[in-house]
Amino acid sequence: MFCRIAAGAAAAAVVYEDDATLAFLDSMPMIKGHVLVIPKAHYTDLGEAPAAVLGAVMQTVQRVMRAQRGGLKADGVRLIQSNGAAAGQVVPHLHFHVIPRFDNDGAPRGWAHTEYADDAERDAVAERIRTGL
């Protein structure tokens, strides 16, 4: 669907566009003013996109965030970006959720967390990540 929006073949409430990126209102917002920022070129997730594309996307994310703070008088802005279905990615096109937050908006603020059993488990997980780098 996002490729169709980027190509102008599907409707969206666009708030910003440049050569590489597009920012538009989410059709199912967490908070009114919730914006999606995408690269116009198709990349399934963050791992596929070249650094130059990520730079352009993040510049647009920053621009939108500043506009939400200025134009909507948002007290804060939450960024969400998911990769893969297990992480909650529903649309397989790289995108960032830029969500304005207000002191009394009633939306959830945090998330459930877990803990490591001990330092050895924490260190083993860290080592597995380092091995992947």
pLDDT per residue as tens digits for the range 25-34: 999 999 999 9
Under DSSP, the state recorded for 88 is: T
Catalytic residue among 42, 93, 95, 97: 95
pLDDT at site 108: 87
Name the residue with tokens 């297990």. Answer: 86
Q: What is the chain's mean pLDDT, rounded?
A: 96
Give yes or no for a contact between 24 and 15, defined as CB atoms under 8 angstroms apart: yes
For residue 82, pLDDT beyond 90: yes
Domains and CATH numbers, the chain: 2-106 (3.30.428.10)
* Eight-class DSSP state of 45: S
Q: Identify the pLDDT of residue 26.
A: 96
pLDDT tens by residue, 102-127: 999 998 888 788 999 999 999 999 99
How far is residue 101 CA from its own chain's centroid?
15
95 is catalytic: yes
Position 57 scores a pLDDT of: 98
The three-state secondary structure class of 35 is: strand
Query: Which pTM was predicted?
Result: 0.92
What is the model's pLDDT at position 113? 87
Burial track 84-93 (b if 16+ CB lie within 10 A, e otherwise): eeeeebeeeb
